[in-house]
Amino acid sequence: MHCSSLFTNTRLTGFTAKQVVTLQPIPLSSSHSSNSSDSSDSSHSPPNAKLSWPTLIKWVASTLLLSLANTSVSFAEDAGNLYNTPFDINAGASYFEKQCSRCHGFDARGNDEVGAPNLTGTLKRASSSAGIYTILREGISGTAMMAVDPKVPDSQLWQLAAYIESLSREAANFAVNGSAEAGAVLFNETGECLDCHMLAGRGGRLGPDLTSIGSELSPDELALALLEPSAEVAPRWWSVSLTDKNGVSRTGLRMNEDSFSIRIMDADAQLWSYPRNTLSRIVRSEESTMPSYAAHFDEAQIDDLVAYLYSLRPETTP
């Protein structure tokens, strides 16, 4: 159904939007006039001489084909993403889970270690499905983002673009009760937040980067993260306790795990990688390593922290 729609729309766009052909009345005869000075260019514009019906039909056909050729490259940008139905978005999600989650994570929130950005907030390099498609097809030079295999059909790539676009959203302007200025003081001087979190390139690596957190979480979600940090923990922030066959134990954040190996980052931000066959014990915890601030701050201070964190968006973060 998509293919037929795409072909039909391309044909109509090529003829009506890209080039309008106006045929002037031309006297018809059974043969060309040998005295026509424009006969050498008759394939693209009608000569002033008399044309036979077969010649006129050939000229119209060649004009339409040329119009279609000029349209094909720019059609996707002109028409937008035609693969953006709920079915397409679900298909794109399936492809993402199989091919993209290894870097961006199953929740699409990225991985600082491999330089994979969070795709759930405002995207920095693309503002539309067409822009996302271009990045997928061409990659980003100088980064770990490689172009998708050329054998992947355009339709499947448009479905993936539709899914990624469905993840990104502009932050809504929710009203907040607290003071962002007072929250900034708590964040920087009292809460010791930068020991674990990164903000605009400074801070620790033991928690999510907060540089654009206001475009990723709502005020209610931010409050929940402060009061009940273990209520929702992304797999990227699970922790693991390991013991090798020599009896040496180590605990850290679960950075990567597959059938053959596991890698963690300890409290000093040091990375440790282990083949599974060298380990005698692996214990995974899905609890957050962040403490609850319910007993540390009062309600007004929590509101101030939420107001400050919600103000951290790409257009406001220094």
99 and 27 co-located in one domain: no
Asked if residue 317 belongs to a domain, the reply is no
Give the residue from 78, 112, 145 where a domain finishes.
Answer: 78
Say what the pTM is.
Answer: 0.54
Residues 34 and 126 in one domain: no
Residues 6+ apart with CB under 8 A from 92: 159, 160, 161, 162, 163, 164
Quick check: is 175 in a domain? no
Query: Would 56 be classed as within a structural domain?
Result: yes
Q: What is the residue range of 6's domain?
A: 2-78
Spatial distance between the Cα atoms of 187 and 192, rounded to a whole number of angstroms:
7
DSSP letter string, the chain: -HHHHHHHHHHHHIIIII----PPP--B-SS--TT-TTGGGTTTS--SS-B-HHHHHHHHHHHHHHHHHHHHTTHHHHH--S--SHHHHHHHHHHHHHHTHHHH-TTS--BTTTTBPPSSS--SS-SSHHHHHHHHHH--TTSS-PPPPTTS-HHHHHHHHHHHHHH--PPP----SS-HHHHHHIIIIIS-GGGT-EETTEE-SSS---TTGGGTS-HHHHHHHHH-TTSS--GGG-EEEEEETTS-EEEEEEEEE-SSEEEEE-TTS-EEEEEGGGEEEEEEE-S-SSPP-TTTS-HHHHHHHHHHHHT--TTT--
Residues 146 and 62 in one domain: no
The pLDDT value recorded for residue 115 is: 76
Number of domains in the chain: 4
Q: Is residue 318 part of a domain?
A: no
Q: Are residues 189 and 272 in the same domain?
A: no
**Residues 113 and 134 placed together within one structural domain of the fold:** yes
Has residue 173 been placed in a domain? no
Q: Are 116 and 227 in the same domain? A: no
Q: Per-residue pLDDT for the chain (318 aa), expressed as one digit of tens each? A: 444 333 333 333 333 333 434 444 444 444 444 444 444 444 444 555 455 676 767 666 666 655 544 443 334 444 567 888 888 888 999 999 898 988 888 888 787 667 788 887 778 788 788 889 999 999 998 888 989 999 999 999 999 999 998 887 555 577 889 999 999 999 998 768 999 999 988 899 899 889 888 888 889 999 999 999 999 888 888 999 999 999 999 999 998 888 899 999 999 989 999 999 999 999 999 999 999 999 999 999 999 999 999 999 865 544
Residues 156 and 92 in one domain: yes
Instruction: For the chain, give the number of residues.
Output: 318
Q: Among positive and negative, which fits the CA dihedral 137, 140, 142, 146?
A: negative
Residue 315 lies in a domain: no
CATH code of 188's domain:
1.10.760.10
**CA angle in degrees (0–180, nearest 5) for 206-209-213:** 140
Where residue 261 sits, what CATH number does that domain have? Answer: 2.30.30.100
Q: How far is CA 287 from the centre of its chain?
A: 28
Last residue of a domain, one of 167, 190, 209: 167
Give a yes or no: residue 316 inside a domain.
no
Confidence (pLDDT) at 56? 67
Please tell me whether residues 262 and 280 are part of one structural domain.
Answer: yes
Tell me if 15 is assigned to some domain: yes
Same domain, 133 and 97: yes
pLDDT at residue number 200: 86
